Amino acid sequence: MMKWDSGSNVLQCYQTKESTITNTRSYLEDGKRAEQSNGPTHLSVVESKFVTPFCYHNWSAIQETLIPKMKVVTSDGDEKDVSSFGILLRLQKLNKGLKCDLNLICDKVLYGVYGVVPISQLDGLIGETVAAMNVIHPDYAILATRFEVSILHNKTKKSFSEKIKYMYSYSSEISGQKASLIADDVYETIIKYATKLDNEIKYERDNEYDYISFKTLERFYLLKINGKVVESPQDMLMRVSVGIHMDDIDSVIKSYHLMSEGWFTHASPTLFKAGTPNPQLSSYYQLCIKEDSIEGHYDTLKKCAVISKSAGGIGVSVNKIGSTGTFNDTIPMLHVINDTACYIDQGGGRRNGVYAVYLEPWHDDIFEFLDLMKNHRKTEHARDLSYALWVPDLFMKRVKSAGNWTLFCPNEAPELADCWGQKFEELYTQYEREGKSKKVVDAEKLWSEVLKSQIETGAPYILFKDSCNSKSNQQNLGTIKSSNLYADIIEYASPTETAVCNMASIALPRFVREKGVSEESQPSKLVGSIGSGNRYFDFDKLAEITSVVTTNLNKTIDVNHYPIETAKMSNLRNRPIGIGVQGLADTFILLGMPFDSPQAHDLNKDIFETIYYHAMETSSKLSEKEGTYATYDESPVSKGTLQPDMWKVTPSERWNWESLRTVSRATFFVVNKHLLNDLTQMGIWSPDLMNQIICEDGSVQKISVISEELRDIYKTVWEIEQKTLVDMAADRGCYIDQSQSLNIFIDQPDFQKLEDLHFHAWDKGLKTGMYCLRSRDAVGAINFTLDTSFFRPPNDVEYQSGKMLDVTDMKHDIPRQHLKLKIK
């Protein structure tokens, strides 16, 4: 119903259960007359009991928005009218506890669509519109997620077991044959414990994802039938838990809740495939060229293709392919590998195959290798590959001393790839004395070509061969010849063994807790640095989660489907795992620590020490029950030599190390949500401040209204001394058996900056000196300002509509800019 409020000069419309949008038609002519006689100038529509009023400027606006002119086509094919009333009511129940201007959302949605559109298109526009308004207040991001989650929940079956039955019984509409999405044994387990699992699952936790994360899950991770998503994120996590633990139902439930609460997550292949008929759960594979022959090359290429089809990322050493002039030299073979990567579809159009190729700098084709990725190359590129150098210490010494560097063909100077350290240096210099070189170059000239390529393309990766081998727990197996796609896995591979790694990631910000708050009352998510003095990092909880993750990864080795036999044999013999982290920089922010502060350096070491210790401790306990892995004997850890010993570092006294030794393993705005939260709480967030940050290219260092303390905390990655990143990588390196993906950010790189950084990383003993180099254009990005109508107060009717913007909450470990515009 509607009524005139003479005190506020507002005509109020109360939406009741019986009334519909058509009830407003009879009031429009009265409204027009009232407006012409200085009557009401606003219309406020509220729902009795819980609606916040919204207002319109004039009656023409009311006609455009309240009288349906847009229609949607439902999933049943019916056409239905759409109005701001309908949109408002959909958002109303989702806005509980939030401060979102629903009227402004309605206006912008209706402004963006005309005519007859599918309901899915309207839903997408509503979600994008709400997410775009995150620049006003963080609540809009929450509302956007709630809206998308509500759509998915309405489209899928109500319980976990119902969805599993549907996915298990699915038959292809084309062939009519059964095409189950769920493995038989997993299905039987879920049906056996259906009531228990259905009761444990918490669908409301889907709302804890941010908008972009949820949409990414929807697009790439959640299982689909005929292109339609048939499970929610909570169903996926329960499916993964059952797929790993099977009828160990207590472990299933424990793992589900810990992942659902955001403590850790398994790697993408595990989320994709766990519980399905083809559970390929491993992330990365490392291979070597079998032998320098057509048969050897194509045997290796076949393995790469089969692995890639199963969604595995590949690192392959090509050191043993003969140099140019031999019957099958390196560069043509790299083109074949490149074409294979492009040919492979890793399931459902997710991505093409992804390969990193590793070469040592003594190989005669090294200059051509560096040239393959460059933009100006005249001959055919092979730029769908990632390129990496496996650098021996001797090369760095020759560059440092401005000496000569000798290039060899691996067929004429064999076994250089098969040794490291002193043995490599002795063999290399022996070949030099024997005159087996293909050519001799200035070491600095080759180094300059490496730096030139990095400045132009951000690659090749730099990994230090001797550090990777001397600090490996697999020294007893042989020489390690490469890393993986992301330069963070260091494992032994040979023609008969394909190295494999199953991975998970621990979410560090989750361990920042409020002092004096009980376990049950701890907030699941903290935002911003305000109040950081009352927070602490929970190392005991980190220890607990690390133990669970280690146990889970150990089980994935056994339930995994291996695409090739050499991978299965290697993984069951060596049983390597990879535990990563996310959100280290966010953790520093939540605790009020500038990234380059001494406190952050100390916390960095303490976190990785805790993870390493408890992964090793859990591994030791597992070995007591299951026995040691097959190649444990003669490994460094079997002799009590741990990573800190290899780095010559003394750990803290937080944990009992001696005990361990005795048993020892479109357009997007990127908004820093922590900064936005702090500035909003301080009451200084505004369109002018936002545009000022944009004009400063995301930096807050020159904005005086922001306190010096916050400016220190919110340095972008471009404002942090890059040697700090290297130093912190070295500080935690002594607690990492594998390695770490180390991105380097230099605003305007030049030879001297890069050379200083690479030698600093080498001197620090890092295994991975650099994964990728990130730089910015010297002229800077074009600065834009935002449509300030996003900031319209709730009852301000004067605003201008502008281009729709998408707001994303990206997961950069260190923000490059706190608010930036990227054109895609």
The confidence score (pLDDT) of residue 114 equals 74
Higher-scoring residue by pLDDT: 354, 793: 354
- Which of 247, 266, 293 marks a domain boundary? 247
**Domain identity same for 322 and 448:** yes
Does any domain span residue 263?
no
Higher-scoring residue by pLDDT: 662, 173: 173
The confidence score (pLDDT) of residue 523 equals 82
Asked if residues 637 and 473 have their Cβ atoms less than 8 Å apart, the reply is: yes
Tokens standing for 679? 């500035």
> In this predicted structure, which of 49-53, 687-691, 734-738 has the lowest mean pLDDT?
49-53
What count of other Cβ atoms lies within 10 Å of the Cβ of residue 640? 13
**Domain identity same for 464 and 422:** yes
The tokens 């089980």 sit on which residue? 555
- Give the phi and the psi of residue 215 in degrees, each rounded to 5: -65, -35
The confidence score (pLDDT) of residue 352 equals 73
Output the domain CATH number for residue 396: 3.20.70.20
Asked if residues 244 and 556 have their Cβ atoms less than 8 Å apart, the reply is: yes
Region 360-387: mean pLDDT is 85
- Give the phi and the psi of residue 716 in degrees, each rounded to 5: -80, 170
How far apart are the C-alpha atoms of 468 and 742, rounded to whole Å? 14
Residue 822 clears pLDDT 50, i.e. is over it = no
Does any domain span residue 494?
no
How far apart are the C-alpha atoms of 303 and 565, rounded to whole Å? 10
How do the residues of the chain divide into helix, strand and coil, expressed in percent and rounded to 5?
A: 45, 15, 40
The tokens 């009334």 sit on which residue? 19
Does any domain span residue 147?
no
How far apart are the C-alpha atoms of 675 and 693, rounded to whole Å? 11
The confidence score (pLDDT) of residue 725 equals 92
How far apart are the C-alpha atoms of 656 and 666, rounded to whole Å? 52
**Domain identity same for 215 and 357:** no
- Which of 231, 247, 263 marks a domain boundary? 247
Region 739-758: mean pLDDT is 90
**Domain identity same for 311 and 188:** no
| Closest by Cα among 276, 67, 91, 257 to 167 | 276
Residue 117 clears pLDDT 90, i.e. is over it = no
How far apart are the C-alpha atoms of 741 and 315, rounded to whole Å? 14
**Domain identity same for 672 and 629:** no
75 burial (CB, 10 Å; 0-12 / 13-18 / 19+) is exposed
Region 672-682: mean pLDDT is 89
**134-158: buried (b, 16+ CB within 10 Å) or exposed (e) per residue?**
bbbbbbbbbbbbbbbbbbbbeebbe
State the pLDDT confidence band at 350, using cuts at 50, 70 and 90. Answer: low
SS3 367: helix
538 burial (CB, 10 Å; 0-12 / 13-18 / 19+) is middle
How far apart are the C-alpha atoms of 472 and 467, rounded to whole Å? 8
The confidence score (pLDDT) of residue 61 equals 52
**Domain identity same for 621 and 545:** yes
The confidence score (pLDDT) of residue 518 equals 86
The confidence score (pLDDT) of residue 349 equals 54
Q: What are the tens digits of pLDDT across the range 162-179? A: 999 999 999 988 888 899
How far apart are the C-alpha atoms of 163 and 237, rounded to whole Å? 13
**Domain identity same for 338 and 230:** no
Higher-scoring residue by pLDDT: 348, 17: 348
Asked if residues 446 and 417 have their Cβ atoms less than 8 Å apart, the reply is: no
**Domain identity same for 451 and 396:** yes
**Domain identity same for 402 and 541:** no
How is 261-310 classified by DSSP, letter by letter?
A: TTSEEE-HHHHHHTTSSS-----EEEEE---SSHHHHHHHHHHHHHHHHT
Strands 768-770, 461-464: pairing is antiparallel
Q: What are the tens digits of pLDDT across the range 379-396? A: 567 888 999 999 999 999
How far apart are the C-alpha atoms of 423 and 248, rounded to whole Å? 49
Does any domain span residue 335?
yes
Residue 18 clears pLDDT 50, i.e. is over it = no
Kindly report each contact of residues 710-713 with a partner whose C-beta sits within 8 Å and lies 24 or more positions away, as own/partner. Answer: 710/529, 710/675, 710/678, 712/594, 712/597, 713/529, 713/588, 713/589, 713/592, 713/593, 713/594
Strands 499-507, 577-582: pairing is parallel
Residue 96 clears pLDDT 90, i.e. is over it = yes
Residue 447 clears pLDDT 60, i.e. is over it = yes
Q: What are the tens digits of pLDDT across the range 459-490? A: 999 999 999 999 999 999 999 999 999 999 99
Strands 79-82, 70-73: pairing is antiparallel
| Closest by Cα among 599, 579, 604 to 727 | 604
Non-local (6+) Cβ contacts of 157 within 8 A are 163, 166, 230
State the pLDDT confidence band at 351, using cuts at 50, 70 and 90. Answer: low
The confidence score (pLDDT) of residue 397 equals 98
The confidence score (pLDDT) of residue 290 equals 82
> In this predicted structure, which of 50-59, 123-132, 136-145 has the lowest mean pLDDT?
50-59
Residue 802 clears pLDDT 90, i.e. is over it = no
Alpha-carbon distances, residue 6 vs 12, 54, 796 (angstroms) = 10, 17, 20
Please give the tally of structural domains in the chain.
Answer: 5
The confidence score (pLDDT) of residue 537 equals 98
What count of other Cβ atoms lies within 10 Å of the Cβ of residue 69? 13
Does any domain span residue 145?
no
**Domain identity same for 241 and 109:** no
End-to-end alpha-carbon separation of the chain, Å? 47
Determine which helix (DSSP H) or strand (DSSP E) holds 426, and give its type and residue range. helix 421-433
- Give the phi and the psi of residue 401 in degrees, each rounded to 5: -95, 5
| Closest by Cα among 526, 528, 525 to 680 | 528
Q: What are the tens digits of pLDDT across the range 689-718? A: 888 888 888 899 999 999 999 999 999 899
State the pLDDT confidence band at 643, using cuts at 50, 70 and 90. Answer: very high
Non-local (6+) Cβ contacts of 23 within 8 A are 1
- Which of 221, 247, 273 marks a domain boundary? 247
State the pLDDT confidence band at 671, using cuts at 50, 70 and 90. Answer: low
By residue range, what is the domain housing residue 351?
Answer: 284-470
Residue 34 clears pLDDT 50, i.e. is over it = no
How far apart are the C-alpha atoms of 134 and 141, rounded to whole Å? 5
For a pLDDT cut of 90, what percent of the chain falls above it?
Answer: 64
At how many degrees (to 10) do helices 184-192 and 233-245 cross? Answer: 100
Residue 398 clears pLDDT 70, i.e. is over it = yes
Does any domain span residue 135?
no
The confidence score (pLDDT) of residue 4 equals 36
The tokens 């393995």 sit on which residue? 303
How many residues make up the chain in this entry? 824
DSSP letter, residue 509: G
The confidence score (pLDDT) of residue 70 equals 72
Residue 28 clears pLDDT 60, i.e. is over it = no
The per-residue pLDDT of the chain, averaged, comes to 85
Does any domain span residue 260?
no
- pTM for the model: 0.83
> How would you classify residue 195: left for phi > 0, otherwise alpha for psi between -120 and 50, otherwise beta?
alpha
> In this predicted structure, which of 77-86, 615-624, 764-773 has the lowest mean pLDDT?
77-86
Higher-scoring residue by pLDDT: 805, 788: 788
Residues 316, 317, 321, 323, CA torsion sign:
positive
**Domain identity same for 525 and 630:** yes
Residues 561, 232, 579, 290, CA torsion sign:
positive
Does any domain span residue 219?
yes
Residue 35 clears pLDDT 90, i.e. is over it = no
The confidence score (pLDDT) of residue 327 equals 54
**Domain identity same for 650 and 672:** no
How far apart are the C-alpha atoms of 473 and 176, rounded to whole Å? 51
Q: What are the tens digits of pLDDT across the range 217-256? A: 999 999 999 999 999 999 999 999 999 999 999 999 999 9
The tokens 């606003």 sit on which residue? 42
